[in-house]
């Protein structure tokens, strides 16, 4: 049975195999983009080539695990809890809980973002992962959580609705759902 775990160097091989499944344009989905560049921060990105180095991958995991500390995030960004969905040592996906909503996150991104590696899709992992992360969000004092998806993403709509998501509205191409965490 898969479980949510904190990023750790022991999963490097499986994580890199998952990253190799994504097209280059989906670096964010693969978990390689921590922050985009802004006027206030140069951005943080990693490549699969960089992460093949054990020391760089260990530093990457440390960085992911410290993002829940407000002092560790760039200006104008919010703290986030990053968790990986694993079955044994096999990396299946990732999910993040943004602890606060900026105006952009309120419109587009929401509290929770998730992705399942391409070879593990259509097996219920996103649904299980979202259900499993809700108690973590509740422990952070977030209830309900905002989860968004593109209006054309039928699979993600079903995941959110299975978690009890109530559609509030559509803003542009984004559907905005509120999901109870308790």
pLDDT in tens, 154-173: 999 999 999 999 999 999 99
Q: Measured between alpha carbons, how far is 117 from 126 in angstroms, rounded to an integer?
A: 10
Architecture of domain 3-136: 3-Layer(aba) Sandwich (3.40)
What integer pLDDT is reported at residue 35 of this predicted model? 83
Statement: residue 99 has pLDDT above 90: yes
What is the DSSP-derived secondary structure letter of residue 172?
Answer: T
DSSP 93-155: EEEEEESS--HHIIIIIBSEEEEE-GGGTTSSHHHHHHHHHHHHHHHTT--SEEEEEETT-HH
> What is the reported pLDDT for 130?
98
Residue 53 has pLDDT above 80, yes or no: yes
Q: What is the pTM of this model?
A: 0.94
Q: Is the Cβ–Cβ distance between 5 and 87 less than 8 Å? A: no
């Amino acid at each position: 049975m898969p479980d949510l775990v904190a990023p750790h160097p022991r999963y490097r091989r499986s994580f890199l195999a998952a990253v190799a499944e994504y097209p280059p344009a989906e670096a964010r989905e693969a978990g390689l983009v921590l922050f985009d560049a802004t006027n206030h921060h140069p951005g943080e990105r990693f490549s699969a080539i960089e992460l093949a180095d054990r020391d760089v991958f260990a530093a990457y995991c440390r960085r992911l695990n410290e993002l829940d500390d407000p002092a560790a995030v760039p200006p104008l960004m919010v703290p986030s809890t990053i968790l990986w969905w694993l079955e044994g040592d096999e990396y299946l996906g990732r999910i993040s809980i943004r602890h606060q909503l900026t105006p952009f996150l309120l419109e587009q991104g929401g509290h929770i973002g998730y992705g399942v590696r391409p070879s593990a899709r259509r097996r219920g992992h996103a649904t299980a992962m979202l259900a499993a992360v809700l108690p973590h969000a509740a422990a952070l004092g977030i209830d309900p959580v905002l989860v968004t998806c593109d209006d054309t993403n039928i699979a993600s709509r079903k995941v959110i609705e299975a978690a009890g998501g109530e559609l509030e509205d559509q803003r542009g191409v984004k559907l905005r759902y509120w999901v109870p965490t308790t």
